[in-house]
Amino acid sequence: MSRVIEITNITRDFPLGQETVKVLKGIDLNIERGEYVAFMGPSGSGKSTLMNLLGCLDTPTSGSYILNGKDVSKMTDDELAEVRNKEIGFVFQTFNLLPRTTALDNVALPMVYAGYSKSDRTKRAQEVLTNVGLGDRMDHKPNQLSGGQRQRVAVGRALVNKPSIILADEPTGNLDSKTSVEIMHLFDEIHAAGNTVILVTHEEDIAEHAHRIIRLRDGVVESDERREKVKVEG
């Protein structure tokens, strides 16, 4: 197993007036390719800040972040944008879909930024939507889809560029319990297919899907528990 994430002594400070708020206080963390990891912790624990750093949406105050062998902690905004597009697939609680755009075009969007041809984008987006169970909804716009279907579109968009990591921030936060189970089963299948999955959640039953639960408190790692792997039934 090769290491996909290597974080060494990461800190993140935010200025607040004349004060400095230390949100992350020296975190060391390694994640291997193919792991399924959940981050948990109370509000203010630093987990959202850490997720922003992992997703290259922010840079640390100090420390190093090696992603797939590249030190992203010192990259420019343009370099980070390229890494986000190619290496990381994002799934958000609020779906973040373009409302006037079909499911197919929403999924294909990251490929536009990556420079793929229209025919390649269409073919790959069709393949991904079929894999997430929406082969019959490709021409539907978000307002014609249920919450669960919208999240499936978002998952498809996250997968379309074949990223190193799927990063999911409260992916079931806007879904009812039955739909949450369906979406988490989809994440289980994505992981079983070989993807590295990292999710942030407040909910213990969602975290139970992961094989490793990292709990944060007051800007440090409080515990890092590896769990028995459970076979996903198809």
102-135 pLDDT, tens per residue?
Answer: 999 999 999 998 899 999 999 999 999 999 999 9
Contact 7, 64 (CB under 8 A): yes
37-91 pLDDT, tens per residue?
Answer: 999 999 889 998 999 999 999 999 999 999 999 999 888 989 999 899 889 999 9
pLDDT for 164: 87
Give the pTM: 0.90
User: 94, 96, 67: which is closest to 80 by C-alpha?
Assistant: 67
pLDDT of 234 higher than 80: no
Contact 197, 212 (CB under 8 A): no
Domain ranges (residues) in the chain:
35-47+77-226
183-199 pLDDT, tens per residue?
Answer: 999 999 999 999 999 99
Contact 11, 24 (CB under 8 A): yes
Q: CA geometry: angle at 145 spanning 139 and 150, to 5°?
A: 95
For 204, counting Cβ atoms within 10 Å of its Cβ (0-12 exposed, 13-18 middle, 19+ buried), the class is exposed
pLDDT for 227: 83
Considering the four listed CATH numbers 1.10.510.10, 3.40.50.300, 1.20.1740.10, 3.40.50.970, the one that applies to the domain covering 35-47+77-226 is 3.40.50.300
